[in-house]
Structure 1
Amino acid sequence: MKSNYFLSCCLSVVLCILIYTPSYCSAETSELIGLLTSQLGVTEKQAEGGAGSLFKIAKNSLSGENFSKVAESVPGMDLLLKAAPELPKVKGMGNIASSLGGGSGGGLDMAGLPAMFGKLGMDSGMIVKFIPTILSFVQSKGGDSVMNMLKGVWQK
């Protein structure tokens, strides 16, 4: 009887922790995520995934050295990249896509963003709202040169 009570108490504590703990990205990325949620009215999960999607495209498009400069300006970049949804795989296209320039990024570019945002419950119109907000944040943290690298990728 005592063990059942103890088990119930432990489960209740774990449940409370899970319910009231912000998503896994929050600790390191709270400033950017807070900016996106407050200015754009999106959830934390949407902010993390949307920003992560844009940064994933930047990582695929920029040189390793340049993306490192971007990553230094955005705390928790690894967590944001992990929060980005994967693009749906097209049957029979895996080998073709990888041979056409798809390294680990798989040929990921701006054309894939609507699908990624869609997986997060946002329409493609949100992309144009995310970009200036993130660019402004990156400019404040990393300066004009880092912001312009991202602008070159996202606003072609």
Structure 2
Amino acid sequence: MLETLSAFITDYGYLNLFILSFLASTVLPFGSEALVIALVYQGFSPFTVVMVATTGNFLGACTTYYLGLKGRHVLEKYLSPSPEKLEKSEQLFNKYGVYTLLFTWVPGIGDVITMVAGLMQLPFRSFSILVFLGKFGRYLVIAYSIVLLNGGF
């Protein structure tokens, strides 16, 4: 069983990572960190792992942002965010501004932050830069922590 899983990771690692990272950036209860760690342990290029995970996660966030642009009724129909999380995210935006987007990687509230950014019709350019940087930073820390813990491979 372990051999089969290892082969699956090796054969389709980057594709699996992209899909999982994309889905993890919606309100679906997925996480991509374990696969990032597994791929780095398997000897995949840490930089490529970071870029694939960041790109998938960023594009998932863009999808959630787009649904937010379409309005609250679309969000409720497709993503069903809790009113409490939406309200908390709106409060964060009102208090800290657009830089809240740097924290869209935070589990539980990050996906709602991207929804609120769409609802508030924040400019896509600002959204893109800050969300990409935040997600890139998170994956960079995860991947290179594994590299450092293993003596630099």
- Using the size of structure 1 for normalisation, the TM-score is 0.31
Select the structure of larger CA radius of gyration. 1
